[in-house]
Chains A and B, each alone.
Chain A
Amino acid sequence: MTNDQNALDALRAAFPAVAIDADAVIGDAAASWVDHEAFSDVIDGRRWTELGVADLEPYREAVYFVTAAGLGQLAPALLMACVESYPACDLLPRFVAGALALDAEGRARWTPSQRDAIARALVALERLSREDDAGPSAARALELWRSELVTTAA
């Protein structure tokens, strides 16, 4: 089993697949975004495991307008899409890594196993994108998240 597959399995194990409440995800900061209502339609009522790169890439800017709780719900889907679909995705990895690098203070909302899963996914993303567009963003995010790794196996 590859490290990437380990990272994806860790995300699936750590984050329960519950229906997403778009109202809790889309906050006041979204009002000035052209596509926040379309994004809301895409995610509302779906489980994070049902969201793929085709759903998320067109709305990558959403990582900067969702609420903190919203990022908490979407992070596993976003990371899964980035790692699973690399290198087919476009700027999604840059945006996801960028948002997670800004969110260091919000890490407490996740459980230790969820933080470990996010850190493992960032390890995989940093390795995949090292020579590419998302490389520097992934490295910055990983720098903040590496301490969350429960083991060094990832």
Chain B
Amino acid sequence: MPSPILLRGRGLLIALIVVASSGSPAFADKFRDFKAAAAKPPSCGLIPYDSLQQRCVSIGERVEKWCKTKRSACKGDDKKSDLKERLANGKQCVAEREDVTQVFAEAKSKLARENGDVKKFAATIIDKIEAGESGHAQVLNDYRGAVANCEKQLKLAK
């Protein structure tokens, strides 16, 4: 029966052979990240880079707060204090949406420079990001329009 030391030596040898034959563990992680992102991810999950994905999630929470839960529509008979608050909400929403747009632009730029085995996944992710771009531009345009309307209503209220 082989000694425990010999067994440990064999285990190490097998591990080295596996790593050598499949590439580095870091590469395997990167491959998995890209494959998962290209499959069917929601939103920030499309971004296979940790730091950019974290920025996306963080800004996404602020988009949720400023664009979804706070009112931004100014109406002709609103009180001046309401108009001011909605103008501020709308401006913050636009700023957060511009930030998240910038994050996706940076991600696209990095993805376009990818090579090797992840290149095909990078191309799929770029396609998915680009599929939503015109919609995001329309949304940003609508929020900017809401801000412009609040500014107009506020002037009229003076």
Contact = CB atoms under 8 A, between A and B. Distances in A.
Given A32-B104, A137-B145, A132 B43 contact: no
Contacts of A30: 132
Contacts of B73: 89-91, 93-94, 132-134
A45 interface: no
Interface stretch (B19-27, B64-72, B115-123): B64-72
A29 interface: yes
Measured as residues with beta carbon below 8 angstroms from the partner, the interface class of chain A is: 20 to 34
Interface in B32-87: 40-44, 46, 60, 63-64, 67-68, 71-76
Contact of A31 (B68, B72, B74, B131): B131
Contacts of B71: 90
A143 B135 CA distance: 22
Interface residues of B, number: 35
A61 interface: yes
Given A31-B41, A31-B132, A132 B74 contact: yes
A28 B128 contact: yes
Interface stretch (A6-14, A33-41, A113-121): A33-41
A14 B68 CA distance: 31
Given A33-B132, A90-B72, A137-B145, A61 B139 contact: yes
A36 B42 CA distance: 8
Most B CB within 10 A of own CB, among A34, A37, A98: A34
Nearest to A87: B75
Contacts of A131: 75-76
B64 A34 contact: yes
Contacts of A35: 43, 64, 68
Interface string A122-138: 00000000011110110
Given A32-B132, A34-B63, A91 B142 contact: yes
A28 to B, nearest CB: 5
Contact of A29 (B46, B60, B68, B132): B132
Interface of A: 27-37, 58, 61, 64-65, 87, 89-91, 93-95, 98-99, 102, 131-134, 136-137
13 contacts: A31-B129, A33-B42, A34-B42, A36-B42, A37-B42, A64-B134, A64-B138, A90-B71, A91-B142, A98-B138, A132-B149, A133-B75, A137-B145
